[in-house]
Structure 1
């Protein structure tokens, strides 16, 4: 068994021809750029590309297979020089059983099964080329199709105020929309962590995953997990999510929830902090609020959240959040130490000081030790480091 760094939620911004896939994604976020950046710059061992259903993306993967740059793993996934690429699709469910739109992640083991899935999806959505599109079937029907294709099904960023399971998708329980037995894991999102999510008793049975939901190359691996597996393949990922045969997530690495964009409740107009959702904003008088994840979880709370079986959730500050660490200095770190994973996990403080200013090196070290203070984010605005 070995430990692997894994980020399972990375968007395609554009195809190689320049066609939009994730409209809000960066133009540089092509499939070829993603796999190179994730392996060589970020230092990841497995990634999930969750717009793989888009036909032009599938064609690019096919061409890379023919050119020998990718190889299909016999146990599922595509191998890119030692890094595994898991083919996924983010979809939006919003039917008579939901209170609002819900995003979900569907992963398939092979290129052919993803092609089959793409052809099937085309019958139930308006634009198969785009990311995160509404699919005009129920959540349970989608789950059954994913399982028919031997896939993995995970509700995405489940507490985000918009387009998520608990944000506005259900009143109280996931059973309102999904078959609980056909869920393979729960993606927490940037504004919550394990201790917060475990306050919902119905989630105790599931493995929690922490992913970047990257809309640019820089955002890849802002959240990820360390998974113990025999090798980086689709089958091994499934075993790890099921905590079977000695596989499993060893640690989740994610933002301190205070750094997330939706941690606290704020005024929708001026973004002032508003501890009460029912009262007018004390700054501008607006009655419109964006309910924070922390407050929503308290509404749904059915447990003390003391699940002892969970792997550690390690609050981690991505390098791009570090004050004073600009692109040139970050590039200097990469030139010396290889990857972001190395800087975040293994490079000693004294070595950092030899490459970048001491103050910045100390801030990175404090971030690794969980010694920084934050101003909490909300209403779509990230929190900030205050140290």
Structure 2
């Protein structure tokens, strides 16, 4: 009897180990030094180091379509569909962003898409095919003369574990629902290829509650990423994904089929520069109701304002603010540590004092996300000080 009990307990322990999930932090969308407006420091060695400091386990390579960046990618070591530097801690997942330009209902549409792929070899083959639609050498985020549906069709030729995600879907320029060049539904962009779209990227200027107001988005997994063009912006938004193993297929499968195991890390939407409607040159912005009263016209110069994300959500929403689907993904709201320090010290985030304090904190307490989400308050007060801890 005792022997049976021991065997039973061992069996239970083995089962628990087999089905135990690990939580990994994933930032799928960044850019390399070959993208316009990107820092020259966006190279693999630097990205690996900063991602570790930020608390990112898996990060997108970004810019797989650029031939010079792809040559750098080939130096990485493959493990379970993910990649790493020889002595690196961070895992890289093959990713890239492209812009498709096409005509729809007499208007030019420019929409950005995030592509996730299982191997460098597929990235090479797909890039060769996409090169007929645009110049891939000119920018890490190339402009392609093709529809969203054509793009998805090209990508899915390489297997069902490839993924296209509409990028920062509400941004006024270059996004799925953007006021300047977007459309009003996912189907209008991806047409017969819509069933291959499983996830959407919220972008800095929107958060899950804003997206929940559009019931047509209920079936899609929400993901958030940094879209970083510089090292310190890495991980400003990211995803916590529960997986059984650290592999490409496990990450993709979870995003595709188990969205409730994907928890997004979000900044306040007001942190994004396109949250409210406004006119940057005149330094003004307005919430949706006020912008509507002004009929979208800048009260200072009389020119048309850029319609912000909040106003665009109002246009497409079929739910009131605060409403949403019955079952919702979890999300966490943070502000980057560097910005919190800047507020506490009343200094600019790029100042020497703020930078010094940032490195002091992460060197003492560990990675940034651990500091923001997990570190006990008493430890924070010792290292960060009372004022910063209470922010």
Q: Same fold (TM over 0.5)?
A: yes
The equivalent residue for 1:375 is none
SS of 2:384's equivalent in the other structure is: coil
Alignment partner of 1:276 out of 279, 285, 291:
291
Identify, as 1 or 2, the structure richer in helix.
2
Superposed displacement of residue 100, structure 1: 2.7
The equivalent residue for 1:385 is none
SS of 2:284's equivalent in the other structure is: coil
The equivalent residue for 2:122 is 113
Q: Contact 2:296 / 2:304 at 8 angstroms: preserved in 1?
A: no
Q: Contact 1:225 / 1:249 at 8 angstroms: preserved in 2?
A: no
SS of 1:37's equivalent in the other structure is: helix
Q: Contact 1:349 / 1:362 at 8 angstroms: preserved in 2?
A: no
Q: Contact 2:82 / 2:248 at 8 angstroms: preserved in 1?
A: yes
Superposed displacement of residue 225, structure 1: 1.1
Structure 2 CA distance for aligned equivalents of residues 60 and 349 of structure 1: 42
Offset from partner CA, 1:329-360 (integer Å, 9 cap, x none)? 01001111121121112211211221233212
Alignment partner of 2:79 out of 73, 79, 91:
73
Give the alignment's Cα RMSD to 1 decimal: 1.8
TM-score normalized with structure 1 length: 0.84
- C-alpha change, 1:137 and 1:99, in structure 2 (3 Å) is closer
The equivalent residue for 1:345 is 373
The equivalent residue for 1:173 is 185
1:277-296 maps to which residues of 2 (within 5 A)? 277=292, 278=295, 280-282=297-299, 284-296=300-312
Are residues 1:330 and 2:331 paired? no
SS of 1:96's equivalent in the other structure is: strand
The equivalent residue for 2:137 is 128
Superposed displacement of residue 99, structure 1: 4.2
Structure 2 CA distance for aligned equivalents of residues 27 and 110 of structure 1: 25
Structure 2 CA distance for aligned equivalents of residues 355 and 218 of structure 1: 21
The equivalent residue for 2:165 is 154
Name whichever of 155-164 and 111-120 sits farther off: 111-120
- C-alpha change, 1:99 and 1:303, in structure 2 (3 Å) is farther
Q: How many residues align?
A: 345
For structure 1, list consecutive stretches of 5 or more residues without a partner in the other structure.
Answer: 14-20, 364-387
TM-score normalized with structure 2 length: 0.83
Q: Contact 2:254 / 2:262 at 8 angstroms: preserved in 1?
A: no
Alignment partner of 1:249 out of 258, 261, 265:
261
Alignment partner of 2:317 out of 296, 301, 304:
301
Superposed displacement of residue 82, structure 1: 5.2
For structure 2, list consecutive stretches of 5 or more residues without a partner in the other structure.
Answer: 1-20, 346-353
Structure 2 CA distance for aligned equivalents of residues 235 and 309 of structure 1: 25
The equivalent residue for 2:97 is 90
Are residues 1:12 and 2:23 paired? no
Superposed displacement of residue 49, structure 1: 2.0
The equivalent residue for 1:2 is 22
Q: Contact 1:83 / 1:232 at 8 angstroms: preserved in 2?
A: no
Q: Contact 1:103 / 1:164 at 8 angstroms: preserved in 2?
A: yes
- C-alpha change, 1:105 and 1:280, in structure 2 (3 Å) is closer
Structure 2 CA distance for aligned equivalents of residues 308 and 48 of structure 1: 31
Q: Contact 1:7 / 1:47 at 8 angstroms: preserved in 2?
A: yes
Superposed displacement of residue 159, structure 1: 0.2
